[in-house]
A and B are shown apart, each in its own frame.
Chain A
Amino acid sequence: AQTVTQSQPEMSVQEAETVTLSCTYDTSESDYYLFWYKQPPSRQMILVIRQEAYKQQNATENRFSVNFQKAAKSFSLKISDSQLGDAAMYFCAYLAGFEGGSEKLVFGKGTKLTVNP
Chain B
Amino acid sequence: NAGVTQTPKFQVLKTGQSMTLQCAQDMNHEYMSWYRQDPGMGLRLIHYSVGAGITDQGEVPNGYNVSRSTTEDFPLRLLSAAPSQTSVYFCASSYDRPMNTEAFFGQGTRLTVV
A residues contacting B by CB (< 8 A) are 4, 6, 9, 32-33, 42-47, 50, 52, 91, 93, 95, 98, 102-110
Residue of B whose beta carbon sits closest to that of A43: B108
Task: Encode contact with A along B80-114: 1 for CB under 8 Å, 0 otherwise.
Answer: 00000000101010000111001101011000000
Residue of B45, B56, B98, B103 contacting most chain A CB atoms (<10 Å): B98
B residues contacting A by CB (< 8 A) are 33, 35, 40-45, 48, 56, 58-59, 88, 90, 92, 97-99, 102-103, 105, 107-108
A42 near B107 with CB under 8 A, answer yes
A91 near B107 with CB under 8 A, answer no
A91 near B42 with CB under 8 A, answer yes
A33 near B42 with CB under 8 A, answer no
Q: Name the contact of A43 in the complex, choosing from B33, B41, B42, B88 (C-beta under 8 A).
A: B88
Jot down 17 A-B pairs with beta carbons below 8 A, ordered by A. A4-B42, A43-B107, A44-B105, A44-B107, A45-B92, A47-B102, A52-B99, A93-B43, A102-B56, A103-B97, A103-B98, A103-B99, A104-B98, A105-B33, A105-B98, A109-B40, A109-B41
Q: Which residues from B are CB-within-8-Å of A103? A: 97-99
A104 near B42 with CB under 8 A, answer no
Q: Which residues from A are CB-within-8-Å of B97? A: 98, 103
- In the bound assembly, the distance between CA atoms of A107 and B42 in angstroms comes to 6
Q: Which residues from B are CB-within-8-Å of A32? A: 99
- In the bound assembly, the distance between CA atoms of A51 and B88 in angstroms comes to 27
Residue of B whose beta carbon sits closest to that of A53: B99
10 smallest A-B Cβ distances: which pairs?
A45-B105, A107-B42, A33-B99, A107-B43, A109-B42, A43-B108, A47-B102, A103-B97, A95-B99, A104-B45
- In the bound assembly, the distance between CA atoms of A32 and B88 in angstroms comes to 28
Q: With A47-B102, A109-B40, A109-B41 in contact, is A104–B107 under 8 Å at CB?
A: no
- In the bound assembly, the distance between CA atoms of A106 and B99 in angstroms comes to 12
